[in-house]
Structure 1
Amino acid sequence: MQPKSEARYLNRATPPHISTLIAATALGAMSMNVFLPTLPQMAAYFDVDYAVMQRSVTLYLMVNAILQLGIGPISDRYGRRPVLLGSFVLFCLATLGCILAPTAEIFLAFRMAQAVVVAGLVLGRAVVRDMVPGPEAAAMIGYVTMGMALVPMIGPVIGGILGETFGWQANFVLLLATGIAVLALTWADLGETAQRSSGGFMAQVRAYPELLTSRRFWGYCGATAFASGAFFAFLGGAPYVGSEIYGLSPSAVGFYFGAPALGYFVGNFAAARLSVRLGINRMILYGTLISTAGLSIPALLELAGMGSATLFFGSITLVGLGNGMTLPNGTSGMLSVRPHLAGSASGLGGAVMLAGGAGLADLAGNMLTGSPTPMPLVAIMLTSSALSVLAILYTIRRERAVAGI
């Protein structure tokens, strides 16, 4: 472990440069949404219903959740570097399989295999926690995810253009080329930061009860899971809202998908600048309140009969803003509960977040079918966001009780 070493760019003997962590986490974000505007095109290519291709989102999130349970303990035991390099190699192979898949079923199988790229997100955060403590980690995670937010801001736009010009496979060619580039950068720059444990994999798994019995961990986990749940519901329902309810083209849907990402970018900047000054809990509370307030706007507009694509997607910018403030701080809070289990905490917390997100994305898609308005989606997002407020209020109350305040 070399947390006190000065990072030297493209030096495998020192901790990584922040740009390497941004690239490692951004690859997962790119894989999640760059192809979404071409889902109807993909359904036509494979001659299946749109709902079948929409499973490429739900199944991907579900496998992400399962993998996160193992990635954390494995990296705590064997180190961040080998796990990251191995995951990026597998991601590139799975992406090649997606490009060459002859049927929808084979495509979905390789799409699920692509989920191994989640190691970049899980271990990118764990590496930050290895290098710096507490609020400083929240600030650094904010910078990392601020850079990562650029990808979902422009990814769907690029994906829509590539799909219309060259076909849906062009998006996966882009993912393959990017995956190879990130693999090369990680190999050249990322030095090991973890203190490898002396126990085996099962010893790391047996350490989970330390997290499972911590009310603070579950408080932070709940805040991040419910806050991000609103966004995952958006991922599952927004393509339908844009194309079927508001009649937007794939490229226009891709453009509007940048709305929450823009807010997320600003929120991450606020987290990076203010987390040390205001503290983790206050930043999470402010972020969840902003998201919940933002979701009240489309609900009220739709009830008043004033809904439109611009107003709907524009209001979702506030969800991104709130999440940009909440998620870096919530993640730092989860990792700080048991610092010696940072990888395990990141994996377990991420698994809960993505499993809930997969369920909400699927629920949103099912409830929207046949609906003339986006209200089913808005209701799901608003409920999830409100629960994130309750979760952080519980955590704050718990900390005060423990401290005897």
Structure 2
Amino acid sequence: MTDTKDLPEARKPAAVGLLLALTLLGVFPIDVVLPSFPALSEHFQHPSSDIALSVSLFAVGIALSQLLIGPLSDAMGRKNLLLIGITVSALGATGCVLANGYGAFVFFRVVQALGCGCFVLSQALIQDLFTGREQQRLRIFLVTCGGIFISVSPLAGTGLQSWMGWRGSFLVFIALAVGVFIRASRLLPSSPAGHQPKRLALIAAYRKVCGDFSFMAYWLTSALAFSCHFSFIVISPLVLIDQLQLSPEAFSWALLGYGLAYIGGGAVATVLSTRIDPQTQIITGLCLILAAGALMLGLSSHLGLSVTTLLLPMIVCTAGTTIARAAAHTQAMNIFPKQAGTSASAGSVLIFIIGGLTSAAISLTPLDLQITLALSLIMLSLLGLGLNTLARHRHRGLLPG
């Protein structure tokens, strides 16, 4: 049972602000620190590969944390668990700032990651605080903002590195975490009268939600769409910096321009959400991703690799990703509204695993990166369309008469 029912209408804008801050904190610890790799390597006297390992361990820590946080929030409520998670993440970031050795730094990064797993509750809070079309419009907004945050993070990280050194991103994270803690403690009400904590049944909770075909199909669709965006972000330094020889500053501005495409994608998704049903929105988004892959493949074959032939198709892909993910999230979360925490955690872990594996496979391929990315967009969108078709047919088969 949620502990955030019946939020007054006047406080909903503040709730949107809180969800936006949680979205920012969710991407901040990984993306903003990337420009500080050389400085971290020099400070701890470890190769860059070891610094990259700390990022991988951070991601693993988030995934493990989310597996537990979702069901726990359904049992004990969102507010307390969110406040605990924010506190742990801030303590972990503080430990990173004070760490004198690489081992201590990695340990506190994992502690920070375990706390950051609580940010998955933003999906559950949307389900708790908003209804009907509000949920989908808000998810479109947050997906749009999340993409922008990811895209501008290298530019922000470069600025923080120049201003405050490698500790800058951790100090800013701590300040943001403190502000969000205060805001959440004041905004989110305590458990309503008569609410009784539930017994935690972790395995049973996940068996229930993951055993539903439609639930898994919608989250997989969202994961496939997200993988298209995430894979581009991961390989973008390899293509734009290593192959096209852009400076770090020019690279950051290129990603900023790409991030602005999320605004256009979000606007289109908002219009579509009022005119067509979610299933059609998912198909529309996936078809745009398919078109982006075909466009990139054609441009690469005829014009070769350039900033334009890479970014232009990805702008189309971004619009498709925004449209498909928001609709798929809403469809998945509406299946088990009373297990919103478990549902959000299951979906988030799925998105993380598929996005990570896909991006790793693309970045490690010996083939041309642009062509590999284009083929991946085509393949992932076709898989998503197939899943959506199966989900629709299964839903129709379950309808009476």
Q: State the TM-score, normalized to the length of structure 1.
A: 0.87
Q: Which residue of 381, 391, 396 maps to 1:400?
A: 396
**1:374 maps onto 2:373 in alignment:** no
- C-alpha contact 1:56 1:111 (8 A) present in aligned 2: yes
Aligned residues: 398
Query: Compared with structure 1, are the counterparts of its residues 383 and 258 closer, same or farther at alpha carbon in structure 2 (3 Å cutoff)?
Result: farther
Paired position in structure 2 for 1:384: 380
Paired position in structure 2 for 1:29: 27
Secondary structure, in 3 states, of the residue corresponding to 1:247?
coil
Which structure 2 residues correspond to residues 101-140 of structure 1 after superposition, within 5 A?
101-119=99-117, 121-140=119-138
**1:3 maps onto 2:2 in alignment:** no
Partners in 1 of 2:160 and 2:4 — Cα distance? Answer: 42
Letter of the 2:397 counterpart: A
Q: Which residue of 221, 225, 229 maps to 2:227?
A: 229
Partners in 2 of 1:131 and 1:107 — Cα distance? Answer: 37
Paired position in structure 2 for 1:254: 252
Partners in 2 of 1:48 and 1:182 — Cα distance? Answer: 34
Q: Which residue of 72, 77, 83 maps to 1:79?
A: 77
Q: Out of 218-227 and 286-295, give the one that drifted further.
A: 286-295
- C-alpha contact 1:135 1:279 (8 A) present in aligned 2: no
Query: Compared with structure 1, are the counterparts of its residues 199 and 186 closer, same or farther at alpha carbon in structure 2 (3 Å cutoff)?
Result: closer
Which structure 2 residues correspond to residues 298-377 of structure 1 after superposition, within 5 A?
298-367=296-365, 373-377=369-373
Shift of 1:142: 2.0
Shift of 1:343: 1.1
Partners in 1 of 2:54 and 2:292 — Cα distance? Answer: 28
Shift of 1:404: 6.4
Secondary structure, in 3 states, of the residue corresponding to 1:125?
helix
Shift of 1:320: 2.1
Partners in 1 of 2:41 and 2:383 — Cα distance? Answer: 35
- C-alpha contact 1:95 1:111 (8 A) present in aligned 2: yes
- C-alpha contact 2:76 2:198 (8 A) present in aligned 1: no
Partners in 2 of 1:46 and 1:197 — Cα distance? Answer: 49
Partners in 2 of 1:346 and 1:118 — Cα distance? Answer: 14
CA deviation string 1:249-298 (max 9, x = no partner):
22222222334432333323333443243122111111122122213333
Query: Compared with structure 1, are the counterparts of its residues 247 and 23 closer, same or farther at alpha carbon in structure 2 (3 Å cutoff)?
Result: same
- C-alpha contact 1:232 1:361 (8 A) present in aligned 2: yes
CA deviation string 1:364-386 (max 9, x = no partner):
33226xx6653344444443333
Query: Compared with structure 1, are the counterparts of its residues 60 and 278 closer, same or farther at alpha carbon in structure 2 (3 Å cutoff)?
Result: farther
- C-alpha contact 1:157 1:255 (8 A) present in aligned 2: yes
Which structure 2 residues correspond to residues 173-212 of structure 1 after superposition, within 5 A?
173-192=171-190, 198-202=197-201, 204-212=202-210
Paired position in structure 2 for 1:296: 294
Paired position in structure 1 for 2:155: 157
Letter of the 1:144 counterpart: L
Q: Out of 141-150 and 235-244, give the one that drifted further.
A: 141-150
Q: Which residue of 268, 271, 280 maps to 1:270?
A: 268
- C-alpha contact 1:37 1:159 (8 A) present in aligned 2: yes
Partners in 1 of 2:41 and 2:378 — Cα distance? Answer: 30
Secondary structure, in 3 states, of the residue corresponding to 1:168?
coil
**1:167 maps onto 2:165 in alignment:** yes
Query: Compared with structure 1, are the counterparts of its residues 133 and 397 closer, same or farther at alpha carbon in structure 2 (3 Å cutoff)?
Result: farther
Q: Out of 287-296 and 211-220, give the one that drifted further.
A: 287-296
RMSD after superposition: 2.8
Query: Compared with structure 1, are the counterparts of its residues 226 and 197 closer, same or farther at alpha carbon in structure 2 (3 Å cutoff)?
Result: farther
Letter of the 1:269 counterpart: A
- C-alpha contact 1:135 1:332 (8 A) present in aligned 2: no
Identity %: 22
Q: Out of 127-136 and 63-72, give the one that drifted further.
A: 127-136
Shift of 1:88: 0.8
* Runs of 5+ consecutive residues of structure 2 not aligned to the other structure: none
Query: Compared with structure 1, are the counterparts of its residues 45 and 318 closer, same or farther at alpha carbon in structure 2 (3 Å cutoff)?
Result: farther
Partners in 2 of 1:367 and 1:105 — Cα distance? Answer: 31
Partners in 2 of 1:57 and 1:129 — Cα distance? Answer: 30
Shift of 1:41: 4.1
- C-alpha contact 1:227 1:385 (8 A) present in aligned 2: yes
Secondary structure, in 3 states, of the residue corresponding to 1:54?
helix
Partners in 2 of 1:57 and 1:320 — Cα distance? Answer: 25
- C-alpha contact 2:127 2:333 (8 A) present in aligned 1: yes
Query: Compared with structure 1, are the counterparts of its residues 197 and 113 closer, same or farther at alpha carbon in structure 2 (3 Å cutoff)?
Result: same
Query: Compared with structure 1, are the counterparts of its residues 119 and 64 closer, same or farther at alpha carbon in structure 2 (3 Å cutoff)?
Result: closer
Letter of the 2:248 counterpart: P
Secondary structure, in 3 states, of the residue corresponding to 2:189?
coil
* Runs of 5+ consecutive residues of structure 1 not aligned to the other structure: none
- C-alpha contact 1:16 1:191 (8 A) present in aligned 2: no
Query: Compared with structure 1, are the counterparts of its residues 324 and 259 closer, same or farther at alpha carbon in structure 2 (3 Å cutoff)?
Result: farther
Partners in 2 of 1:2 and 1:244 — Cα distance? Answer: 48
- C-alpha contact 1:245 1:373 (8 A) present in aligned 2: no
Partners in 1 of 2:164 and 2:135 — Cα distance? Answer: 42
**1:19 maps onto 2:17 in alignment:** yes
Shift of 1:118: 4.3
Letter of the 1:3 counterpart: K
Partners in 2 of 1:301 and 1:45 — Cα distance? Answer: 43
Partners in 1 of 2:207 and 2:368 — Cα distance? Answer: 46
Query: Compared with structure 1, are the counterparts of its residues 17 and 132 closer, same or farther at alpha carbon in structure 2 (3 Å cutoff)?
Result: closer
CA deviation string 1:317-336 (max 9, x = no partner):
22222221122221111111
Q: Which residue of 285, 288, 294 maps to 1:287?
A: 285
Partners in 1 of 2:372 and 2:277 — Cα distance? Answer: 35
Query: Compared with structure 1, are the counterparts of its residues 40 and 340 closer, same or farther at alpha carbon in structure 2 (3 Å cutoff)?
Result: same
